[in-house]
Amino acid sequence: MHVFAIVVLLLSLVAPAVAKAEPGGFAPEVAAELERAQASGLPVEALEAKAREGAAKGVPAERVAAYLKGLSAELVAVDTILGALGQGVDRSELLLAAASARRAGASAAAVREAAALSTDLRSAASRALADLVAAGCTEAGALQLIRGAAGSAAPAEALRDAVTVTFTLIAEGQTPAAAARGAAGAGGGNGTAWGAGGVKAKDPKGTGIDKAPGQQNK
């Protein structure tokens, strides 16, 4: 009987800890932030991925929850900026890219313009804006490059070329503003030659243009 009583006592002590396991395996404070984000109409898949990434790195649950709270606020803000532009595309990807652009210092008007250039390029253009502005390019210079790429025969490839050439020139010692101007010139003045064999852009210096928004190497 004594052994049975001890087992019951141990189970009663362990049960509360087990009960803390929320759907998806998240800590209660993290799960609460995810629920709030979903209630706000945000696509929670990206937030869940961030939460799992933090947990895998051993980040304390309270810090993960605080990060998700801040990110959710950013996503709500850019969702308001984009409005109907968030429809018909991968909304999660677009919102994350637009939030990165805002965090880098791009204005609401610039974020909206980049996303409005082409339905097929909304997320990519927003990522390009984020990376270019974060690298020190002026908002006007970044938008010029993005507009030029959007008007080319192969816009997706042109956009990649435009950003890669800009980062390569920066890595070679040019100022961000000069690099953006040089990239525009390499693309035929307005970027229309990019993506059509006009520029065979590489990323030899590891500028990280293939990484997630705002994650290029410094």
Torsion sign, CA atoms 126, 129, 134, 135: positive
Q: How far is CA 66 from the centre of its chain?
A: 18
3-state helix, strand, coil in the chain (%, to 5): 70, 0, 30
In 3-state terms, what secondary structure has residue 28?
Answer: helix
Residue 218, pLDDT above cutoff 60: no
Residue 34, amino acid = L
Render pLDDT for 16-56 as a digit per residue (tens, 0 to 9).
333 334 446 899 999 999 999 999 888 888 899 999 999 99
Query: pLDDT for 114-164, tens place per residue?
Result: 999 888 889 999 999 999 999 999 999 999 999 988 888 888 999 999 999
Cβ within 8 Å of residue 143, ≥6 positions away: 110, 113, 114, 129
Query: What are 54-100's pLDDT values in tens digits?
Result: 999 999 999 999 999 999 999 999 999 999 887 877 888 999 999 99
Residue 186 backbone dihedrals phi, psi, to 5 degrees: -65, -25
Of 1-10, 47-56, 107-116, minimum mean pLDDT range: 1-10
Task: Give the amino acid at 180.
Answer: A
- Cβ(167)–Cβ(182) below 8 Å: no
Q: How far is CA 181 from CA 50, 58, 98, 118, in A?
A: 36, 43, 23, 22
List the domain boundaries for the chain: 120-211
pTM: predicted TM-score of the whole model, two decimal places: 0.72
Phi, psi of 33 (to 5 degrees): -65, -40
| Residue 67, token pair as written in the block | 């990060």
CA distance 128 to 113: 12
